[in-house]
Structure 1
Amino acid sequence: MSSISIEDMIRVLDMEVVYEGKSLSIDIETSDINRPGLQFAGFFDYFAAERIQVIGKVEMTYLDSMDPEIRKERLDRFFGSGIPCVLISRNMEVPEYLLEAAKKYGCPIIRSCKVTTSIIHRMINYLDSALAPRITRHGVLVDVYGVGVLLMGESGIGKSETALELIKRGHRLVADDAVEIKKVAENRLIGDSPELIRHFMEIRGIGIIDIKAMYGIGAVINTKAIDMVIYLEFWDNNKEYDRLGLTEDYMEILGVKLPKVVLPVRPGRNLAIIVEVAVRNWRLKHMGYNAAQELDKRLNSLIQDSYDNEV
């Protein structure tokens, strides 16, 4: 299971540490957030103690209005549940009673100057991305007409050369050789490049080239949603390749099904143009038009008309 430390979250989201507690290296394993109003009111059933606890103006006002003895008992139970940390929004002052309870159990208290809903939204977005399931795949990811295309195939099949021709034709490189893929939603994969090799490409016989330096900033993009997979393979004369496009093939990555197109490679085929055509065809299908089905419909109609005339 993925996790992220409180320390990393504080740095990225520009938060302030009010009380460090036992450690800021505690790992967060969920992007869910809890506002503990019900717990301060005494209801601890189904309390999600593993979540970051956010205290906004409403919760703070309620705490201030409570009887000191009841408040102490509730805070003891709240902090004693093993919560990872408490976030105070709106840059509010931390009352002494809250700080004492946090120190008793060594729970970190952090603070943000942003309003409660805004900081919760930012935290959820950040944690969703940071905690997303991820995998690294060998391939090339390019942005073609706004569609994220993952080029896959055996080493030396020509993935980088195809991507280079696509870049020359105005499309953009995301990652070459190693593509880091993370699942940010139920049916959405985002791909990017490892930082070390970002914007670099290996061309056999030439070596390493810098796409950003050679073709300009418009030739690269840091991240891109993956919409389809194009698998390159050496042409096999004994294999029957799809010539109509009536059947759909898919590849599953991290539980997400992606449309897959198999392109046989042999001398004389301009793969960059074929990739562009595959993307345009995918977009047409996505919009509800399938050329293969349209041709099949016309043929069936012609056969039916011919049969009716004979009868």
Structure 2
Amino acid sequence: MAKVRTKDIIEALGLELISGEEGINRPIVTSDLSRPGLEIAGFFDYYPADRVQLLGMTEMSFFNRLNEPERVQRMEELCRDFTPGIIITRGQEVPLELVEASERESVPVMKSNMKTTRLYSRLTNFLESKLAPTTAVHGVLVDIYGLGVLITGKSGVGKSETALELVKRGHRLVADDCVEIRQEDQDTLVGNAPDLIEHLLEIRGLGIINVMTLFGAGAVRSNKRISIVISLELWEKNKQYDRVGLDEEKMKIIDTEVTKITVPVRPGRNLAVIIEVAAMNYRLKKMGVNAAEQFSDRLNHAIADPEIEEF
């Protein structure tokens, strides 16, 4: 999980820092935000002080009706020693009581001209992306017909060479060798390449090649949601491989299970075409067309009625 500090949201959302500059390096540990309406009214029993606080038109309108002692007390309560920041939205005037309390506790107070709901949405999306659980996988990620296909396998099995052939066939490379994966939702995994090796592909015998330079900007993309995992392994003579496709194997990445297909590798097999077809077949299954199940139904029907000549 990446570290996010208050200064990061100031830069990302173009916020104006009003006071509490000493606290801009405070960590933000959750993507949840708070609109402290009840707290402005004086109820602090369940105040989520570890969240970024948003003060919109509703909160500030009520605050301006309070008397002076109440205004001072409310702002002192809002500014805790671990509060990452307070944002005033809609370009509203920042109360003097908040400025004074924030300076004492070093709580950054920021100002934005955006509407509260708009800022809430943008800030939530930013924090969820930055604070999402992450991992790194040895493999290649390719966008094939709009599906993110993660190709895994032992070193030297042919992952990068297969990716090169897929790029030549019009598909797009996302990452080679190391794929950084973040879980943006319970069932959503997004992969990208580390900055150091973005757009690069390692081919043994050739070395490092730049896919974008060789094939153009349309041959790469910066990130892609992972839909399926293709595991390449050297063909083992005595191992039984799935020949029908009824059983669906799963691979767990962080907390999300992804469909996994094991493809044996041996001379003469066109892996690029096999992976391309696997992606198309996966898409068909999602659309309700399952060739393996159709074949199984036909076979069972033929067995049940021997007079039917289907084979």
TM bucket, shorter chain? over 0.9
Q: Conserved in 1, the CA contact under 8 Å of 2:80 and 2:107? A: no
1:39 aligns with 2:39: yes
Q: Which residue pairs with 1:217 in the alignment?
A: 217
Q: CA RMSD in A?
A: 1.5
Structure 1 counterpart SS, 2:176: strand
Aligned amino acid, residue 165 of structure 2: E
Corresponding position of 2:201: 201
Change (3 A) 1:265 1:87: same
Q: Which residue of 1 aligns with 2:296?
A: 296
Is 1:128 the counterpart of 2:128 in the alignment? yes
Q: Is the 8 A contact 1:141 1:179 kept in 2?
A: yes
Q: Which residue of 2 aligns with 1:189?
A: 189
TM-superposed CA distance for 1:171, in Å, is 0.4
1:156–1:79: structure 2 CA closer, same or farther, 3 Å change rule? Answer: same
How far 1:249 sits from its partner (Å)?
A: 0.5
TM-score for both structures, normalised by structure 1: 0.96
Aligned to 1:249: 249
Give the Cα–Cα distance (whole angstroms) in 2 for the partners of residues 217 and 39 of structure 1: 51
1:91 corresponds to 2:110: no
Equivalence for 1:15: 15
Q: Where does structure 2 lack aligned partners over 5 or more consecutive residues?
A: none
Shift of 1:98: 1.7
Identity of aligned residues (%): 47
Structure 2 vs 1, CA of residues 121 and 242 (structure 1 numbering), >3 Å: closer, same or farther?
same
Cα shift at 1:2:
4.3
Aligned residues: 309
Matched, 1:77 2:51: no
Name segments (4+ residues, structure 1) moved above 6 Å.
Answer: none
Matched ranges for 1:56-75 at <5 A: 56-75=56-75
Does residue 268 (structure 1) correspond to residue 263 (structure 2)? The answer is: no
Is the 1:2–1:29 contact (alpha carbons within 8 Å) kept by the matching residues of 2?
no
* C-alpha distance in 2 between matches for 1:149 and 1:101: 52
CA deviations over 1:151-177 (Å, ceiling 9, x no partner): 000001000010110000000000000
1:168-192: per-residue Cα shift (whole Å, max 9, x none)?
Answer: 0000000000100000000100000
Q: TM-score, normalised to structure 2's length? A: 0.96
Q: Does residue 139 in structure 1 map to residue 139 in structure 2?
A: yes
Report deviation, 1:290.
1.2
Contact map agreement 1:179 1:191 (CA 8 A) in 2 = yes
Q: Which amino acid aligns with 2:301?
A: S
Give the match for residue 171 of structure 2: 171
Shift of 1:82: 3.7
